[in-house]
Amino acid sequence: MKDVESLWDLFQKRNVSRRNFLKTCVTITGILGLSPSLISDVVSAAEKQPLVPVIWLHGHECTGCDEAFIRSQSPFASDVLLNMISMEYMDVLAAAAGEPLEHHLQEVMKKYNGKYLLAVEGAVPLNDDGIHCMVGGKTFVHNLKEVAKGAAAIIEVGSCAAWGGIQAAKPNPTKSVSVSDVVSGKTIIKVPGCPPIPEVITGVIMHYTLYGQIPPLDSKGRPKQFFGNRIHDTCYRRPFFDSGMFVEKFDDAASKAGWCLYKVGCRGPETYNSCGNLRWWNGLSYPIQSGAPCIGCSANNFWDNDPFYNRMPNIPVPNAIVNADQVGIVAAGALTAGVIIHGALSTIQHKRHHKETHETEKDNE
């Protein structure tokens, strides 16, 4: 194993131009949600900061987070894996398997002790001594604790790792829990979602790679630049909510017209994620854009928050003590009142104009 290099070292080694290197830095700056004024800082970090060794473990999960990660478009997952980090262990994408791969994991843990970034995908089953998830002949909970000891920081990739996910849904027969329920004393970054947005995964990894520190986190341990807003705050259907224009059922005219999906179960008003601005597949779309309400897949215990297509408890409209049923009436009443007031003012103005014209004609006589 060679010593890790910086991103710029790698570009030079592969005869990639300085121009392309700078374009890459600009792209990374945008993905991280940083101000354009910080591009020079990103360039400096990419020139000097060594590529971070990464170990990626898999527990109780469906591999959907991997499927999302490899579809990242900005940057491409291939660029992250081959050019921006030093991916030392990931059993899904590794060329090796079995004993050679597990032996390599032990070597990496020793060589980069205290320096590697640990990404964990999947929940941790604890029932029956953890036998419900075994890797390399050992329970996942054993492997997780062992690898976590030497990690500089840990990323919980996906809702299963962050909250327990579907494995932890009632009645939770395997007693699955989140990574942070098992590991303590380590810096942990939660990247929930079922699965997470690809660019959110790569963005968090790149932030740590460039700056050698975790991004700013909210009170639940999620990166603020990706989980600082509710889906509701960035939803293009928000004006319909504020106007009291709701889909009542999926085959009605309102659904075809693209009105708000709150009444058919949308969890957007209480779910924090970047779906409304980053979207999926290089910004192509996201569930609400396709006509499906948000099911809150990045929220804790979302699998138990069913049925998904039942409306949430009343959500107040901004600056008004009303709910979704009343807002339409209020909006319609305001419109009617506006028409009446406009008509009354027009009549008064017309009478005043007629009176002034009549007085002018008398003066001219």
Q: What is the DSSP string of 309-363?
A: TSPPSP-PPTTSS--HHHHHHHHHHHHHHHHHHHHHHHHHHHHHHHHHHHHHHHH
For residue 4, being part of any structural domain is answered with yes
109, 145: one domain: yes
**CA–CA gap between residue 7 and residue 84 (Å, rounded):** 6
One domain, residues 72 and 86: yes
Binding residues: 62, 65, 160, 194, 232, 235, 260, 266, 275, 294, 297
If asked whether residues 182 and 196 sit together in one domain, one would say: yes
Domain count, the chain: 2
Residues 131 and 100 in one domain: yes
In a domain, 91, yes or no: yes
- Where is the domain boundary, 185, 205, 225? 205
Please identify, among 14, 35, 50, the residue that sits at the C-terminal boundary of a domain. Answer: 50
Last residue of a domain, one of 205, 229, 262: 205
Which distant-in-sequence residues (6+ apart) come within 8 Å of 123 by Cβ? Answer: 59, 60, 61, 160, 161, 164, 165, 167, 168, 176, 177, 178
For residues 45 and 57, state if they share a domain: no
Among 285, 281, 239, 282, smallest CA distance to 262 is for: 239
- In the prediction, which pLDDT does 1 show? 38
Which tokens go with 234? Answer: 């960035």
> Is 103 a domain residue?
yes
Same domain for 131 and 16:
no
Cα separation of 124 and 130, whole Å?
A: 8
CATH number at residue 73: 3.40.50.700
Binding residues for [3Fe-4S] cluster: 275, 294, 297
At residue 321, the pLDDT reads 45
Q: Does residue 125 fall inside a structural domain?
A: yes
Task: Give the pLDDT score at 218.
Answer: 95
Instruction: Extract the annotated binding site for [4Fe-4S] cluster.
Output: 62, 65, 160, 194, 232, 235, 260, 266
| Domain match, 56 and 44 both | no
In one-letter notation, the amino acid at residue 179 is V
Domain that holds residue 61: 52-205
**Would you write out the chain's pLDDT as a tens digit for each of its 365 residues?**
345 578 888 888 888 899 988 988 888 787 777 788 888 988 888 888 777 889 999 999 999 999 888 888 777 777 777 767 788 899 888 878 889 999 999 999 999 999 999 999 999 999 999 999 998 899 999 999 999 999 999 999 999 999 999 999 999 999 999 999 999 999 999 999 999 998 898 889 888 888 888 999 999 999 999 999 999 999 999 999 999 899 999 999 999 999 999 999 999 999 999 999 888 887 889 999 999 999 999 999 999 987 888 888 766 655 444 555 555 445 445 444 554 554 555 556 556 655 655 555 555 55
Q: Are residues 113 and 42 in the same domain?
A: no
45 and 72 in a single domain? The answer is: no
Degrees (nearest 5) of the Cα angle 40, 41, 42?
A: 90
